[in-house]
Structure 1
Amino acid sequence: MSEKLTPMMQQYFEVKRGLPANTLLLFRLGDFYEMFFEDAEVASRLLGITLTKRQDYPMAGIPFHAADNYVTKLLAAGKKVAICDQAEPAKAGKLVKRQLTRILSPGTTLAANQLDAAKNHYLCALELNKHGLHAAWLDVSTGEFRVATDARPENLLPVLTALDPAELVLIEGDLEKWKAAPHDDHVTHNLQHFCAERLITELPGYHFEVAGGAKTVMDALGVLNLQGFGLAHTHPALGAAGAVVYYATENLCAKPENLRSLQEYRSAHTLLLDPATLRNLEIFQSIRGTRDASLLGAIDRTTTAAGARLLERWLAAPALDLQEIRRRQTAVGEFVAQPSDLANVRELLNKVRDIPRILGRLQNRLRNPRELGGVRDTLAQIPAIIACLDLLDSHLVGSHGGEISRIRARLTDLPALRELLAQALADELPNDLADGNYIRAGYDAELDRLRSLTTDNKGWLAELERREQERTGIKSLKVRFTSVFGYYIEVTKANVHLVPADYVRKQTTVNGERYVTEDLKLKEKEIFSAEEKSLAREQELFAYLVGAVLAEAPALTRTAEALAELDVLGGWAVLAREWDYCRPELDEGDSLAITDGRHPVVEQMMKQERLGLAGSYTFVPNDAALSATDAQIILLTGPNMAGKSTYIRQVALITLMAQVGCWAPAKACRIGLVDRIFSRVGASDDLARGNSTFMVEMNETANILNNATDRSLIILDEIGRGTSTYDGLSIAWAVVEHLHRSADRGPRTLFATHYQELTQLDKHLSRLRNFSVAVKEWNDDIVFVRRVVEGAADRSYGIQVARLAGLPLTVIDRAKTILTQLESDEVTVTLPAAPQAKPKKKITVTPSDDSQLSLL
């Protein structure tokens, strides 16, 4: 086949053969990136571009200048995209040298328009073996690099789920092995679920060897050992780390130049939220899959991209370190105390650009003038931010030395670099180096001289046009330029007979003729030479500026980290003032006490829904009190729609907010540190894995019972409702007993249920307390007052709720008749040590057609 191919197509196949599967090759031909064969067919379908033919094989192309937008669509479709660029200027009659410049994938892309500025973008490698789960994750765009290992994979999966990596790297065959695992192998099934709907790349197992991985990582970091990062060279996750670095290097076609450190994540240092809890409590996204109506959306008041990403990281791994939590809380309090100073700081932060990602692109050879403009604009704000923070600190009672001042100390003003960029860069900057005019006039004498030649030449062209119009008498004569034909004189067909003899015809068009003269050809060479030299000089100066910025990369990185922290903490202060949040008290105890707590998301949504309507919105606050050794289990009863689910969720969310360091929606709260938050709420099928609603419910409940500790917080909503009434009641009963199994302590638990029989358990379980959501009755109707009170609910009010939902009155009346007959028969539930909930007699209900229906 190669004998039939042109030299250019042979070049194409040499590059294509070396690419991984599922990779589309964009092959640069002049002003276009072309795709051929199956790549062209796939791209045509995904991008909606025209599919053509070249020598009987499919071909499709996209303009070079618009490639980023098309690549973004391909990445979103789960494809990898290889870029093959021209490595030299095109010359007539010679095959242009081309080379692979990078492979773009969801986990390794760097372009700003292919990344969510507010979201971290991780590439993650996983290895599961007999010693546990080992992971490494890298954000190539910022250089953040972490490893983790845990003998219990269920301790590591929660944070990986929260980080939501864009792409996974696995050992060849592992995914198929996990899919074939027995149904009761929860670890591999959870890993399989985690891998679902993510782009996966498989590598040979030798890329995951620890010794080789350690060397790869050390080479990437430029160190002789990893002791400075607190890691032994035998750390079991270094195999995964090596695989991540290898894969990133292959895709970037060069070593990632923004890797500076490697940190170890330890699950014992963070509050864990399993995947079900992240989903059930809508931490990062709502049940509809959007950021709106999530906890993250409710507590995010950041103004910078780096701040938004830091908030996401803090929420993914809430702290168990009391000192760190209190540091954040104190900083929020200092901002809350000085609203005017805070407003000034936030106004300045709004002008700060995304320094971590700008540095990542500059260090990895993606360079354009606007990136340097972002550094310039950020450095311009630093002196004013420092002055504002110093002023804020001086206003605080107790003088200097607060937490804000400690963050301020990490800011570095770089006056020399700031002045250099301000003097060198133009006010308006292009996005492409080839466009030129990004160096300010007056900065470089040689560049100014070359530009003056270009300017003078263009003046000469204008004068030539005027002169030729007078000489020929052709008033419509124009001197024009195209990149293909250069400069020429254009004459319409009606005036061709007036053209002088010294005009040399260059091209015929529909409307006229194009000519050149000897003077114009000479001047064209002079213009091109001046423009080429001018652009080359600008690029020299740009390279110098990039070098000056990268020389200060460590200081810029530290400053960017401090600015991001100020952004998050300042945003929380705005949130606290806007919604009247309190500063939680945290300790090592086992209690949880919340006064007038509110649901942070529901409260904000209620206000948004009421805007523009008459009257004011009201969210009814409620108290909560739990203790591992006293009121360990709150059994909450009450009708549907009364607010049970909102109440138990708000307790969990307030606890989570407190341990992140945020202030909380309550009048006051005191919380003993929680090691894990578990939730089993809602109902959903998992049809892809063959699991019904009830199986999902039981899987999540099993995870809670097997992993909860005395320091955990558990919220359970309607356990057992996915099966028959008595099966469900028995399971719910047994779950409550299991949670209370220890003689003196257990996990703090909120258990919402409709099973009235469970309320009798307070007579037998010393740490169980009955609470209910109160309602008011009026003429067989009910009013939800949303208040949680002590004591069990005496009724479920299901028929009244059904009426509110709009069921036909005939159905409502018939339900009342059936309920009356059910309540007239005595049904008892015994309370043995093991649950044996079973009716003592047959219950008969008389249907409307007078036939007999037995409910056993």
Structure 2
Amino acid sequence: MSSEKHSKSEKTIVTDYRTIDRAKLSPMYHHYVEVKEQYPNALLLYRVGDFFECFFQDAVTISRELELVQTSKEGGKEIGRIAMTGVPHHALERYSTMLVEKGFAVAICDQVEDAKIATAERRMVRREIQKLLTPGTLTDDGMLQARCNNFLAAIVVAGEHWGLAYADISTGEFFTTQSNDLNSLTMELLRLQPSEILIPANAPDVNGLLRPGEKSEYLADHLPDNFCYSLRAQQPFTLVEASQRLKDTFQVSSLEGMGCAQIPLGVRAAGGLLEYVEDTQKAYQVSLQPLRTYSLADYLVLDHQTRRNLEITQTIRDGTFHGSLLWALDRTSTAMGGRALRRWMLQPLIDIKGIAARQDTIQELVANTSLRQDLRSMLRKIYDIERLSGRVSSGTANARDLLALSESLVKLSDLSAIASYGSAPYLKALHHVPPELEQLGLYVVERLVESPPQQLKEGGIIKDGVDSRLDEIRQRLEDDKKWLTNLEVTERERIGIANIKVGYNKTFGYYISMPRSKAAQAPDNYQRKQTLTNEERYITSELKERETRILTAKDDLNNLEYDIFTELRATVAEKAREIRSISKAVAAIDVLAGLAEVAVYQNYCCPTMVKGREINIIEGRHPVVEQSLGEGFFVPNSAQMGAGDPLEKGEVNPDLIILTGPNASGKSCYLRQVGLIQLIAQIGSFIPATEAKLAVCDRIFTRVGAVDDLATGQSTFMVEMNETANILNHATPKSLILLDEIGRGTATFDGLSIAWAVAEYLATEIQARTIFATHYHELNELASILTNVANYQVTVKEMSDKIIFLHQVSPGGADKSYGIEAGRLAGLPSSVISRAKQVMGQIEKHSKIALGLRQGIKQVQPKKVQQAPGQAIEQLDIFED
């Protein structure tokens, strides 16, 4: 509906500019419509005086989304009133953030000249789009989470092949990769959690901008839900245009140096992303770091379910940071260190040399307490130079930003001096900080006041003595202000009225006021300007002359200070690349110093990383549960898996552990504990254990618990089977698999059969290191059949009227689960407990399951079965006589 009736005035409020004759619009509204048509899919915030206004349908939208009062304003001859909603200019960041968080794009159309000039020339103030705010292109501190990256991603898909580029324009990070499995694209996007994803507008079935959460059908099965998807024009995603754009941006003649010459889809995605950034930032120059190419095979792969189940960055229960692995390990002192730790945890290493370099640095910081403490103390004095340099290079930094960055640059030399006492790899990276950065920092600090104001064009930014012109204007201004102060005193003495005052307002400027009762005593040179209830206000020719001088001096002063500041900002921006480079080293040492702090106070050990498949953890502990329980309460447990060749005769650690035990005894905790220790080790950290020798994993899989996915019609059991199928189809002998209660979502015999078949397949075909927690005690029989399977149980102490959970994992299989006892502890009625025991007795007496599994056990070695095309794999006959 293009318009609506105002219920009270019965006047038409226009909400659709397409329904009116534009020739009848006032000049301002005409310009607003012209700009709006250039950005039809963005909410247009248009500067009018001290407000940013929205008109027409945009006014309706922001009134609804921001819960603001919608008003209206006369739009021109025969137009009627136009819907209008506005926000104060000083609150623009807050309201823009709210709109972007809701998935809207916001176009900022600001005044680009002094309104006084336009007024003097009797024309409309010139306005232009200064920035297009979208979820993935935010740079202002108030719009970003300090310890999380804000990634903008672009993807190009060709069949099963895909290219991905992503950047955080607030930090300058810029990466690209390419692969041939659409499932891995989904996993990468879920790892990155981009705020916005760009899709080429020429993709099949794409017809315009997608709303938040919508996506193109041709990628419907491979793009995660709940992300904001935007569409761009076709051209920037073509290889020729994208390649040239990358070369021009980074001033190179070839893409070989960036490692992306052989990944055309990645190049196309990167080119599209660059075009989008340039288009949205408009008046601001965004400085991205040179494009870096990576391969998915360079890192430990963690799918979304594994990250969720291991609670790496947030808990399953309520999605909060507290209680996650990141919470347990994060002792960083800077925001950029916090972001780096998060990235490391979501992308662990598989290169032993890279892991060792981090371990060596932590080892030195653990051993040298004073070095660690001095580093952490100095790091706390350094601001987020990574993001500050981004705002400086884009021209959006205010004086406080520039001062914080400059003070931090000065501190870098002190940080470098401390780091020079260490010799580990990451400490060496800080041994040499370019001296010009410290000099640059001092240069700026010596020119900016200690506590600069937020606004840039209202003065009070530059110190005295920096510029002779500035000092001269300030002196003239000070002299004139003293004259005003003296004028009040001299006029009181001259006229004989004690309460004469000199005041100022924006409408009349400076004035002399006296009580109306004394108006008859006003001198002849006083010109009456305003009469109030109890007061008369006057001006004099001399006062107006001083006023002109003062106001002119203020404008000159503010303009000159702004010019000096922008010169300082531009000077610092020239070193943005060097600043961001050193910020990476600072962030890394912050992460490692924090991990060393955790290692010391939580008594972590340095694991030995080896080739092969061994997992040997002595007295390991769950890092989160241990900290939650407090010192001394957590019961440690060991884990030995995968050592030696599984086909070799003799004693070897198992590939598959069948873990049984009662509910609530700690099976799930043990599973996650082993997975977290492996993950922590591969980010280069010390681990919660007494001792450990670990081989590098290529992937960690978990299947712990399941929920209904009603939106796609999948039951709990179907979700469980999908996750299990994914594991069986992608795991390798170097993977670590953690399974909890496979087969529990269906009938008992079906579930047991599936659990047996899955465990058997893992042990004989994949031979991945696996812990299989289950209440199907019949699976313990696998250890009698397969030499690379072992039984472990979480032990309990059984009393006459209760059981005590010992939380201790030991060899051997449990023969019951104490589920009825768990029901009693939960408060089930005694009659229900009594009847359950009777039923259990009958089931145990007549069940043939255990008997069948124990008949004619055949001892076999795990083997690889050669399968002819179309031929079914011969399986172990568990009932063979």
TM-score under structure 1 length normalisation: 0.91
Q: 2:589 aligns with which of 561, 566, 580?
A: 566
Aligned to 1:13: 33
Between the aligned residues of both structures, percent identity stands at 40
Aligned to 2:826: 805
Structure 1 pair 141/495, CA: closer, same or farther in 2 (3 Å)? farther
Q: Secondary structure at the match of 2:72?
A: strand
Distance 1:107 1:328 in 2: 31
Distance 1:757 1:494 in 2: 106
Distance 2:291 2:125 in 1: 41
Distance 1:557 1:119 in 2: 17
Distance 2:340 2:513 in 1: 59
Q: 1:710 aligns with which of 733, 739, 742?
A: 733
Aligned to 2:640: 625
Q: Secondary structure at the match of 1:434?
A: coil
Q: Trace 1:557-706 onto structure 2 (pairs within 5 A).
A: 557-607=580-630, 618-627=633-642, 629=646, 630=652, 631-706=654-729
Q: Is the 8 A contact 1:258 1:359 kept in 2?
A: no
Q: Trace 1:105-120 onto structure 2 (pairs within 5 A).
A: 105-120=134-149
Distance 1:465 1:348 in 2: 53
Aligned to 2:303: 274
Q: Which moved more, 1:375-384 or 1:230-239?
A: 230-239
Q: Trace 1:121-132 onto structure 2 (pairs within 5 A).
A: 121-132=150-161
Q: Secondary structure at the match of 1:102?
A: strand
Q: Is the 8 A contact 1:155 1:272 kept in 2?
A: no
Distance 2:426 2:137 in 1: 35
Q: Deviations over 1:368-420 (max 9, x none)?
A: 11121012211221222122222x33xxxxxxx43244222353333431331
Distance 1:242 1:512 in 2: 68
**Cα offset for 1:190?**
4.8
Aligned to 1:841: none
Distance 1:187 1:298 in 2: 40
Aligned to 1:377: 407
Q: Is the 8 A contact 1:799 1:815 kept in 2?
A: yes
Distance 2:876 2:532 in 1: 94
Q: 2:398 aligns with which of 360, 368, 380?
A: 368
Q: Deviations over 1:266-285 (max 9, x none)?
A: 01110000011111111111
Structure 1 pair 493/411, CA: closer, same or farther in 2 (3 Å)? same
**Cα offset for 1:786?**
0.5
**Cα offset for 1:156?**
4.1
Aligned to 2:430: 408
Q: Is the 8 A contact 1:730 1:836 kept in 2?
A: no
Q: Is the 8 A contact 1:726 1:837 kept in 2?
A: no
**Cα offset for 1:262?**
0.7
Structure 1 pair 464/378, CA: closer, same or farther in 2 (3 Å)? same
Q: Deviations over 1:729-782 (max 9, x none)?
A: 12111111111233xx61100111111121112122221111110011112311
Aligned to 1:4: 24
Structure 1 pair 197/505, CA: closer, same or farther in 2 (3 Å)? farther
Structure 2: stretches of 5+ with no match in the other structure: 1-20, 75-80, 211-215, 647-651, 858-873
Aligned to 2:3: none
Aligned to 1:780: 801
Distance 1:804 1:173 in 2: 61
Q: Deviations over 1:797-844 (max 9, x none)?
A: 001111222222232222222222222323325349759999xxxxxx
Letter of the 2:328 partner, please give it. Answer: A
Distance 1:249 1:217 in 2: 12
Matched, 1:172 2:213: no
Q: Is the 8 A contact 2:299 2:349 kept in 1?
A: yes
Q: Is the 8 A contact 1:412 1:556 kept in 2?
A: no
Structure 1: stretches of 5+ with no match in the other structure: 180-184, 394-400, 608-615, 839-856
Q: Trace 1:189-200 onto structure 2 (pairs within 5 A).
A: 190-192=221-223, 194=224, 196-200=225-229
Q: Is the 8 A contact 2:392 2:570 kept in 1?
A: no
Q: 2:767 aligns with which of 717, 734, 746?
A: 746
**Cα offset for 1:109?**
1.1
Aligned to 2:50: 31
Q: Trace 1:512-551 onto structure 2 (pairs within 5 A).
A: 512-551=535-574
Structure 1 pair 572/510, CA: closer, same or farther in 2 (3 Å)? farther
Letter of the 1:59 partner, please give it. Answer: M
Q: Is the 8 A contact 2:130 2:284 kept in 1?
A: no
Letter of the 1:305 partner, please give it. Answer: A
Distance 2:243 2:23 in 1: 45
Q: 1:86 aligns with which of 74, 94, 111?
A: 111
Matched, 1:823 2:844: yes
**Cα offset for 1:594?**
0.5
Letter of the 1:804 partner, please give it. Answer: L
**Cα offset for 1:484?**
4.6
The number of equivalent residue pairs is 812
Q: Which moved more, 1:524-533 or 1:808-817?
A: 808-817
Letter of the 1:765 partner, please give it. Answer: L
Aligned to 2:133: 104
Structure 1 pair 589/475, CA: closer, same or farther in 2 (3 Å)? farther
Q: Secondary structure at the match of 1:436?
A: coil
Distance 2:454 2:698 in 1: 48
**Cα offset for 1:490?**
4.4
Q: Secondary structure at the match of 1:59?
A: strand
Aligned to 1:854: none
Letter of the 1:718 partner, please give it. Answer: E
**Cα offset for 1:509?**
5.7
Structure 1 pair 834/810, CA: closer, same or farther in 2 (3 Å)? farther
Q: Secondary structure at the match of 1:191?
A: coil
Aligned to 2:479: 456
Q: Trace 1:383-394 onto structure 2 (pairs within 5 A).
A: 383-390=413-420, 392-393=421-422
Distance 2:836 2:793 in 1: 24
Distance 2:703 2:477 in 1: 71
Distance 1:226 1:292 in 2: 43
Please, what is the CA RMSD of the aligned residues?
2.5
Q: Is the 8 A contact 1:154 1:187 kept in 2?
A: no
Letter of the 1:703 partner, please give it. Answer: N
**Cα offset for 1:314?**
1.4
Q: Deviations over 1:403-441 (max 9, x none)?
A: 244222353333431331232121112222113222112
Letter of the 2:38 partner, please give it. Answer: G
**Cα offset for 1:315?**
1.6
Q: Which moved more, 1:616-625 or 1:345-354?
A: 616-625
Letter of the 2:616 partner, please give it. Answer: A
Q: 1:249 aligns with which of 261, 271, 278?
A: 278
Distance 1:741 1:484 in 2: 89
Letter of the 2:102 partner, please give it. Answer: A
Q: Is the 8 A contact 1:153 1:187 kept in 2?
A: no
Aligned to 1:336: 366
**Cα offset for 1:107?**
0.4
Letter of the 1:227 partner, please give it. Answer: E
Structure 1 pair 624/130, CA: closer, same or farther in 2 (3 Å)? same
Q: Is the 8 A contact 2:357 2:426 kept in 1?
A: no
Q: 1:60 aligns with which of 81, 85, 99?
A: 85
Q: Secondary structure at the match of 2:790?
A: strand
Distance 1:515 1:697 in 2: 85
**Cα offset for 1:468?**
3.5
Q: Which moved more, 1:432-441 or 1:490-499?
A: 490-499
Aligned to 2:783: 762
Structure 1 pair 234/794, CA: closer, same or farther in 2 (3 Å)? closer
TM-score under structure 2 length normalisation: 0.88
Distance 1:835 1:499 in 2: 115
**Cα offset for 1:135?**
0.6
Structure 1 pair 123/491, CA: closer, same or farther in 2 (3 Å)? farther
Distance 1:515 1:550 in 2: 50
Letter of the 2:700 partner, please give it. Answer: I
Structure 1 pair 517/150, CA: closer, same or farther in 2 (3 Å)? same
Structure 1 pair 86/795, CA: closer, same or farther in 2 (3 Å)? same
Structure 1 pair 713/234, CA: closer, same or farther in 2 (3 Å)? closer
**Cα offset for 1:568?**
0.5
Distance 2:660 2:839 in 1: 22
**Cα offset for 1:203?**
2.2
Aligned to 1:353: 383
Q: Deviations over 1:50-101 (max 9, x none)?
A: 2111122221111112211111111111111110011212233311111111
Q: Is the 8 A contact 1:590 1:627 kept in 2?
A: yes
Q: Which moved more, 1:211-220 or 1:709-718?
A: 211-220
